[in-house]
Amino acid sequence: MPRTQYFCAMSLDGYIAEADDTLDWLTKYDGSFRGEGAEPIAGSYDRFYEGVGALVSGSMTYEWVLEQLDAWPYAGKPCWILSSRRLPKPEGAAEDEVQIVDGMVEDLYEQMVASAGDRNLWVVGGGNVASQFANAGLLDELLVTVVPVVLGEGKPLFDRRLPSGPMQLCGARPFDSGMVELRYELASASRKRRTQGYAP
């Protein structure tokens, strides 16, 4: 069954970006781990991305991608941008591939999941969008790669406390870079879909 997943990297103290949205702490990180069971981090994103059918992000995350990357990285996959502002479409993206919409997650959820086909819906970020999915009981999994860097302040993983209670740890994967991927399941999402009859 396709799942809605929040996949991101996070500092050791819980931030996904610095206060000014920069990611040097992540892109320039250089560490290592030579313990047993460490996997190469190279290819981990590709492995995850193969299972993605559609993406959703907030306007600030979307604008960061447009400003920082030379080419649109999600070509060929439907991408939903939650924004009340008029935003430019990315060069290189097919017409109607990027939907900029002003609406509630609950109202758009079925369309988003349907656009993903038999693959997963990736909540790219930021913390506000992820919080909306979690608060609505529509976030199945959190896959967070913890980077051993302490920022002290910045943009948090979630914008606010979640009402769903403790998450269930489903897996942990140490990488040879010294980063660790943690996978959590949010039971509230499966309950919500059963009780309200969402298509997935």
List helix spans (H) across the chain: 24-27, 44-50, 59-68, 105-115, 127-135, 187-196
Into which CATH architecture does domain 8-18+31-196 fall?
A: 3-Layer(aba) Sandwich (3.40)
Candidates 148, 136, 121, 133; CA nearest to 15 is 148
Instruction: Kindly report whether the global pTM for this prediction surpasses the value 0.85.
Output: yes
- Spans of all domains in the chain: 8-18+31-196
Packing angle of the helix pair 127-135, 105-115 (nearest 10 deg):
100
Instruction: Read off the DSSP letter of residue 175.
Output: B
Q: 94: exposed, middle or buried (C-beta count within 10 Å: 0-12, 13-18, 19+)?
A: exposed
Q: pLDDT (tens digit, 9 = 90+) per residue, 61-95? A: 999 999 999 999 999 999 999 999 999 999 878 88
Q: pLDDT (tens digit, 9 = 90+) per residue, 119-164? A: 999 999 999 999 999 999 999 999 999 999 999 999 999 999 988 7
Asked if 175 and 48 touch (Cβ cutoff 8 Å), the reply is: no
